[in-house]
């Protein structure tokens, strides 16, 4: 297995060198400057009332209606995509008798997503989207070989995704109600202040952060004044991270999880958040506050073993400054009210009722001066300010460190994109790591083919403790309409 990891790591390094070399200006007959590598400062200028609304928004598929010609031609836009995806596990060993065999084909999935964008008037818009999938691999390989939890959560899914009504109440005040995604912060790879939407982490590493966020029912008011925008948000729906299910190859324990106790949907349990964002020439700054339920539950042993979600307050800020082809970014967040799990390692009564505080600091840099190439490096340190022996017995660490490296390059007149992503936990990867190489090719205007390889490294983090054998190849073909 170590040889396999060494081989994969060597492949990644060679491809990294290849992409870097070909990105140098003038290499292999390339001349001029990448037309995508424009000054970041150009993107931050302009009239704020028009630009700010999209700066803090989610993966706005609803913004198809921004085209004036499209709006004039039709009040309704219908679209979506049909996708066929597969993955192949190549690093698993032969399992012990009675265990699930994850070798070979691990997914053969068809997915359908539908979207309806309705312009109700000049000031109001309705957006609806839903998706569903079915994975045929479980029937092909025998459903009896998988746990019921895996079949319930990986074989078939149908769900309502984003569904909201948005409109303008006054010239400076907008309202948006329904299931939506709100992105906070400046990082593209690491979450610090971006805490309002949970993530789908059932198959980590296969998808970028922007595609992992789960919509949540909210009421959002946006007020615009000059170069500032202020948002007030009430979160009515409690959704939490979708984690690997018991029996899957990403589930780290041989034992099923404890029952989960979720807060009710009573008014007093409503989550709320506020943000202020200013965009200026060459730089922007944001301030955040949120009072919410922790996506990651903690274990309480009494009166009976169950996991609970603690109520947390977050105070945060994010800052970008652009200069030429460089973009420097920082994020900081202070979390208060974090609870750790009870542990039988303590003396009776085994309970850790103390709440803890954590400070997260992120710094990153992006460079787009190479021809057709984009490079991003980000790092975050998470530090518990009041760490003690009780926290250590819960399996927590006083300091944790994570880095992200992303290199993306376009080929063939931007029809082919190669992206390398490395997520490393702890300075040397002792807590775990994953490396992904992805190729995206636009076969036609409507058909996109994606393929790649993901290499995992086990580490000290619980969720990475048994992930090292999950290396896989994957391929998708998507038709958009």
pLDDT, residue 348, reads 58
For residue 31, name the pLDDT band (cuts at 50, 70, 90): very low
Considering only residues 6 and 209, tell me which one the structure prediction assigns the higher pLDDT: 209
For residue 73, name the pLDDT band (cuts at 50, 70, 90): low
Average pLDDT over residues 218-247: 97
Q: CA dihedral defined by 426, 429, 434, 437, rounded to 10 degrees?
A: 110
pLDDT, residue 128, reads 98
pLDDT, residue 284, reads 98
Contact 271, 278 (CB under 8 A): no
Average pLDDT, the chain: 87
Q: What percent of the chain has pLDDT over 90?
A: 78
Maximum alpha-carbon separation in the chain:
72
CATH of domain 2-480: 2.40.160.10
Closest CA to 243 of 189, 195, 297, 193: 297
Q: Where do the domains of the chain lie?
A: 2-480
The structure tokens listed for 180 are 């939506």
Helices (H) and strands (E) in the chain, counts: 7, 21
Which residues on adjacent β-strands are paired with residue 143?
Answer: none
Residue 29 has pLDDT above 90, yes or no: no
Average pLDDT over residues 255-273: 94
pLDDT, residue 163, reads 98
Q: What percent of the chain has pLDDT over 70?
A: 84
What pLDDT, in 10s, does the model give residues 375-408? 999 999 999 999 988 888 888 899 999 999 999 9
Residue 113 has pLDDT above 80, yes or no: yes
Residue 200 per-residue DSSP state = B
Query: What is the rounded CA–CA span in Å between residue 440 and residue 452?
Result: 9
Return the ∠ at Cα 327 (arms to 324 and 329), rounded to 5°.
Answer: 155
Q: Which residues of 324-391 form beta strands (DSSP E)? A: 326-339, 355-367, 373-384
Q: What is the pTM of this model?
A: 0.84
- Specify which of 15-29, 253-267, 440-454 reaches the highest per-range mean pLDDT: 440-454
Contact 85, 109 (CB under 8 A): yes
Give the up-direction half-sphere exposure of residue 397: CA atoms within 13 A in the CB hemisphere.
12
The alpha carbons of the chain give a radius of gyration, in whole angstroms, of 23
pLDDT, residue 399, reads 96
Considering only residues 22 and 292, tell me which one the structure prediction assigns the higher pLDDT: 292
DSSP string, 222-245: EEEETTEEEEEEEE------BPPP
Closest CA to 84 of 107, 105, 111, 104: 111
For the ranges 23-32, 172-181, 262-271, 446-455, the lowest mean pLDDT is seen at 23-32
Contact 356, 390 (CB under 8 A): no
Query: What is the rounded CA–CA span in Å between residue 248 and residue 463?
Result: 12
Contact 224, 209 (CB under 8 A): no
Residue 251 has pLDDT above 90, yes or no: yes
pLDDT, residue 389, reads 83
For residue 344, name the pLDDT band (cuts at 50, 70, 90): confident
Query: What is the rounded CA–CA span in Å between residue 419 and residue 44?
Result: 25
Q: Is 68 helix (H, G, I), strand (E, B) or coil?
A: helix
For the ranges 164-168, 332-336, 364-368, 461-465, the lowest mean pLDDT is seen at 461-465
């Amino acid at each position: 297995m170590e040889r396999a990891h060494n081989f994969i790591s060597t492949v990644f390094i060679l491809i990294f060198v290849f992409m870097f070399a070909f990105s140098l200006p003038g290499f292999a007959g390339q001349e001029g400057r990448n037309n995508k590598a424009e000054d970041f400062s150009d993107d931050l200028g302009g009239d704020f009332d028009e630009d700010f609304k999209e700066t803090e928004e989610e993966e706005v598929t609803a913004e198809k209606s921004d085209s004036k010609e499209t709006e004039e031609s039709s009040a309704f836009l219908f679209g979506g995509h049909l996708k066929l995806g597969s993955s192949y596990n190549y690093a698993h060993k032969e399992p012990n008798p009675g265990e699930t065999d994850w070798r070979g084909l691990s997914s053969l999935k068809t997915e359908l997503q539908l979207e309806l964008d309705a312009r109700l008037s000049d000031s109001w818009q309705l957006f609806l989207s839903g998706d569903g999938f079915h994975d045929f691999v479980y029937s092909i390989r025998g459903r009896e070989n998988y746990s019921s939890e895996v079949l319930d959560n990986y074989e078939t899914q149908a769900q309502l995704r984003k569904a909201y009504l948005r409109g303008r109440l006054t010239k400076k005040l907008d309202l948006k109600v329904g299931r939506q995604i709100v992105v906070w912060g400046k990082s593209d790879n690491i979450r610090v202040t971006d805490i309002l939407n949970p993530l789908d982490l059932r198959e980590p590493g296969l998808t970028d952060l922007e595609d992992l966020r789960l919509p949540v029912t909210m009421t959002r008011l946006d007020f615009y004044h000059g170069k500032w925008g202020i948002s007030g948000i009430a979160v009515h729906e409690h959704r939490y991270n979708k984690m690997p299910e018991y029996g899957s190859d990403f589930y780290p324990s041989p034992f099923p999880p404890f029952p989960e106790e979720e807060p009710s949907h009573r008014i007093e349990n409503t989550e709320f958040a506020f943000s202020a964002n200013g965009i200026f020439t060459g730089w922007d700054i944001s301030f955040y506050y949120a009072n919410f339920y922790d996506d990651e539950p903690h274990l309480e042993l009494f009166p009976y073993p169950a996991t609970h979600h603690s109520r947390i307050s977050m105070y945060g800020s994010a800052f970008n400054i652009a200069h030429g082809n460089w973009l420097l970014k920082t994020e900081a967040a202070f979390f208060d009210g974090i609870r750790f799990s009870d542990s039988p390692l303590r003396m009776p009564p085994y309970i850790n009722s103390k709440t803890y505080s954590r400070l997260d600091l992120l710094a990153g840099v992006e460079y787009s001066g190479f021809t057709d190439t984009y490079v991003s490096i980000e790092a975050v340190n998470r530090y518990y300010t009041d760490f003690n022996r009780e926290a250590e017995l819960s399996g927590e660490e006083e300091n944790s460190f994570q880095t992200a490296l992303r290199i993306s390059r376009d080929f063939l007149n931007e029809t082919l994109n190669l992206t390398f992503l490395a997520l490393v936990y702890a300075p040397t990867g002792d807590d775990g790591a994953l490396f992904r190489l992805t190729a995206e090719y636009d076969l036609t205007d409507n058909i996109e083919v994606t393929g790649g390889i993901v290499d995992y490294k086990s580490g000290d983090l619980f969720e990475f403790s048994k992930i090292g054998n999950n290396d896989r190849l994957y391929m998708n073909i998507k038709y958009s309409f």
